[in-house]
Structure 1
Amino acid sequence: MKPPRNPRSAPLPAPAGLSEADMDRLTELFVRGTPANTLRAWESDLGYIAAWRLQRFGGAPAWPEREEVALAFVLDHSRDLATAAEDDPARVAAETMIAAGLRRGFACPAPSTLDRRIASWRAFHRMRNLASPFEAPILRQARQKARKAADRAPAPKSANPVTRDILHQLLDATGPGLRGLRDRALLCLGWASGGRRRSEIVALNVEDLDLKAFAGQGLIRLRLPGTKTTTKGDTPRLVLQGRPARAVATWIAAAGLTAGPLFRRITRHDTVGRNRLSAAGVAEILRRLLRDAGLPEGFAAPHGLRSGFLTQAARDGVALQAAMRLSLHRSPQQAQKYYADVEIAENPAAGLFDAG
């Protein structure tokens, strides 16, 4: 069982009075005006929803969807199906989903995962100017109760932050040749420019970097094509200096890059390929360097570059607002989490008992 390739592949009806040609243009507008990460999430969620509905109700999604189907989706994903009877329809559907690789197990998914899939389902209705069943009072209440019933601390995206000392260990583990130069430039840019997401790192082109001030001031200015919190063209210009700037400039010169993807695949003959490095490639590079640095398997994930930058900023006493200007966090509360973890041990109130 394979999920649809994208939201346009599902049999969605056009709004009343809209021609097929206008529908195609409207769909294209949605695609062009939606961040790539959101499009990938929509594609994944539509595939999951379509597969679940086929197994649970024997057909493709209806537009608009029936309230009882939407309610069953919430209920099926708000309980541990491992304890359900073997002939329970929800468990039977889950078994098929697991066999198809669309579901990990019988345990209910994290509330954030359920919320995201429902948000996607609602978006598909909005695209067709249809009312979503999830707006019904009973659905709203069911979702609220499902969140509270499954309330748990969110798992960190990286087991440990890649702080400056860890980053230096990883840099020391990079090997010789073009592969080593690329890996050092990637780590330095990803960490020092504010803790970039791997999708942001691999999206960079050479044209996004300004090296005019590098020779005289050792600075490289860069502008990200777009982030989760900024739109394309509105991302503030960031800066690299010192060792990170030198690492990036050295990589560009050694690889002979003048345009196109900044970070590319390296062939087994240590030559620079044409293809852009993928987000999965960044994760593989980090796993390899963690192993070569002698750190435990699973010690950190690519998000550790982002959490590590903010954790280090907190340790060094950098003002939160200054760190956020590079990390581009939209919410101070989100960025503050890293500061709170560091500052609590240094809070004078923690030593009140022994102060007297």
Structure 2
Amino acid sequence: MKPPAPYLPVPSPALSQADHEALSDLYIRGTPANTLRAYERDLIYVTAWKQARFDLPLRWPESEATALAFILDHARDLGDAPEEDIARQTAEALILQGLRKSLTCPAPSTLDRRIASWLAFHRMKNLTSPFGTPQVKQARSKARRAAARPPAPKSQHPVTRDILEQLLAICRGSRRDCRDRAILMLGWASGGRRRSEITGLMFEDVSLKDFEEKSLVWISLLETKTTTKGETPRLVLKGRAAQALVHWIEVGEIQDGPLFRPISKADRVLKRRLSPDAVYQIVKHRLKLAGLPEDFASPHGLRSGFLTQAALDGAPLQAAMRLSLHRSMAQAQKYYDDVDIADNPATDLLG
């Protein structure tokens, strides 16, 4: 996936054409695919916003006045604004283009991401961004606080051990059942893996050298949202989870290539990789078969469920984070804080 020119470093007279091409290639290889997709969406949005707001294309570097206007336009609800309000008119134009959903104030995280992308474009062009000036930085900080809202959970409920057992109970005997059982157990027991991490696994990422003697399976993740290539530690599956994964490898006759794959209606394992969205469909399907609402939890419930269960069982936060690979202790701590204090193992210290 080659990104458009605004994502790449600006040509420099100090570099030869070959060196510039090598630098551009370095930017492409060193930027995760998800980040490139976010850059593309954000560049389309800010370009359309400025065209609708000022009838002008983007400038490099952008002006401080434009940066302030962008923050102000995205720091309030526009539904009650007068129809002649330029910010409202701009938002309506973006809605018509399918780039904005409503006139309500965007989430602070959305504004932060778009500004971060805009900043990145300036850095790539070796230019100073207006978002670094004192007034714009202060306005951005005030906008973030003014629009603050309680974070929405990524999964309605955590898939704790009792819920996981219900999902596993209806994975009985077909190849599809074996695959889904392995996905659920690996996704939960290895620390709460994200969908992309599960579907990105290759057969070569799994080591079975300790399975026969110790019932251990080692897993190497290429990279995650919080780690880069070569920095991700090996993860381990033990006991039932290790057995479920090995059983799937045997039943699916997986000898190389993607670890988890689609299965045809005839219960035949296909060769291509399972998509991240398929993990969402698997969780939804298994919830339904277990007699739970389909929207009871999302795949992120495996991640939140692992950490919630770790808190319920009294596992130290640092130990859980070694598997979940959370970079922020504050972020991981939220799952521990969500556990009812009456269920906290520390309340039983006296017996």
For residues 132 and 178 of structure 1, the distance between their equivalents in structure 2, rounded to whole angstroms, comes to 54
For residues 298 and 29 of structure 1, the distance between their equivalents in structure 2, rounded to whole angstroms, comes to 42
Pair 1:280-2:261 in alignment? no
Matched with 2:10 is 14
Instruction: Give per-residue Cα distances to partners, 1:235-294, cap 9 Å, x unaligned.
Output: 111110111111111111111111111111222332222221122221122122222222
For residues 11 and 39 of structure 1, the distance between their equivalents in structure 2, rounded to whole angstroms, comes to 8
Query: For residues 90 and 310 of structure 1, do their structure 2 counterparts lie closer, same or farther at Cα, with a shift above 3 Å needed?
Result: same
Instruction: Give the superposition deviation at 1:200.
Output: 1.0
Query: For residues 104 and 24 of structure 1, do their structure 2 counterparts lie closer, same or farther at Cα, with a shift above 3 Å needed?
Result: farther
Query: For residues 266 and 46 of structure 1, do their structure 2 counterparts lie closer, same or farther at Cα, with a shift above 3 Å needed?
Result: farther
Instruction: Give per-residue Cα distances to partners, 1:55-86, cap 9 Å, x unaligned.
Output: 22334422211222221211111111111222
Matched with 1:105 is 102
For residues 281 and 51 of structure 2, the distance between their equivalents in structure 1, rounded to whole angstroms, comes to 35
Q: Which residues of 2 match residues 10-49 of structure 1 at below 5 A?
A: 10=6, 14-17=10-13, 18=15, 21-49=18-46
User: Secondary structure, in 3 states, of the residue corresponding to 1:294?
Assistant: coil
Q: Mean alpha-carbon deviation: is it higher for 293-302 or for 253-262?
A: 293-302
Corresponding residue to 2:186 among 185, 189, 204: 189
For residues 343 and 267 of structure 2, the distance between their equivalents in structure 1, rounded to whole angstroms, comes to 47
For residues 174 and 316 of structure 2, the distance between their equivalents in structure 1, rounded to whole angstroms, comes to 38
Query: For residues 27 and 88 of structure 1, do their structure 2 counterparts lie closer, same or farther at Cα, with a shift above 3 Å needed?
Result: farther
Aligned residue pairs, count: 347
Q: 1:80 corresponds to which letter in structure 2?
A: D
Quick check: 2:311–2:344 contact (8 Å CA) kept in 1? no
Instruction: Give the superposition deviation at 1:222.
Output: 0.6
For residues 347 and 234 of structure 1, the distance between their equivalents in structure 2, rounded to whole angstroms, comes to 33
Query: For residues 48 and 173 of structure 1, do their structure 2 counterparts lie closer, same or farther at Cα, with a shift above 3 Å needed?
Result: farther
Matched with 2:268 is 271
Corresponding residue to 2:227 among 230, 236, 241: 230
Instruction: Give per-residue Cα distances to partners, 1:91-142, cap 9 Å, x unaligned.
Output: 2232232233322211111111111111111011111111111011121111
Matched with 1:128 is 125
Quick check: 2:7–2:124 contact (8 Å CA) kept in 1? no
Instruction: Give the superposition deviation at 1:183.
Output: 1.1
In the superposition, the TM-score normalised over structure 2's length comes to 0.91
Instruction: Give per-residue Cα distances to partners, 1:289-317, cap 9 Å, x unaligned.
Output: 22222222321121111110010011111
Quick check: 1:15–1:129 contact (8 Å CA) kept in 2? no
In the superposition, the TM-score normalised over structure 1's length comes to 0.90
For residues 28 and 59 of structure 1, the distance between their equivalents in structure 2, rounded to whole angstroms, comes to 31
Quick check: 1:78–1:109 contact (8 Å CA) kept in 2? yes
For residues 28 and 98 of structure 1, the distance between their equivalents in structure 2, rounded to whole angstroms, comes to 35
Structure 2: gaps of 5 or more residues: none
Matched with 1:333 is 330
For residues 166 and 56 of structure 2, the distance between their equivalents in structure 1, rounded to whole angstroms, comes to 53
For residues 12 and 299 of structure 1, the distance between their equivalents in structure 2, rounded to whole angstroms, comes to 42
Give me the identity figure in percent: 60
Q: Which residues of 2 match residues 83-102 of structure 1 at below 5 A?
A: 83-102=80-99
For residues 287 and 346 of structure 2, the distance between their equivalents in structure 1, rounded to whole angstroms, comes to 37
Q: Which residues of 2 match residues 155-170 of structure 1 at below 5 A?
A: 155-170=152-167
For residues 70 and 136 of structure 2, the distance between their equivalents in structure 1, rounded to whole angstroms, comes to 10
Q: 2:240 corresponds to which letter in structure 1?
A: R
Matched with 1:146 is 143
For residues 322 and 86 of structure 1, the distance between their equivalents in structure 2, rounded to whole angstroms, comes to 55
For residues 160 and 41 of structure 2, the distance between their equivalents in structure 1, rounded to whole angstroms, comes to 33
Q: Which residues of 2 match residues 177-216 of structure 1 at below 5 A?
A: 177-216=174-213
Matched with 1:316 is 313
Query: For residues 348 and 291 of structure 1, do their structure 2 counterparts lie closer, same or farther at Cα, with a shift above 3 Å needed?
Result: closer
Q: 1:138 corresponds to which letter in structure 2?
A: Q
Quick check: 1:6–1:43 contact (8 Å CA) kept in 2? no
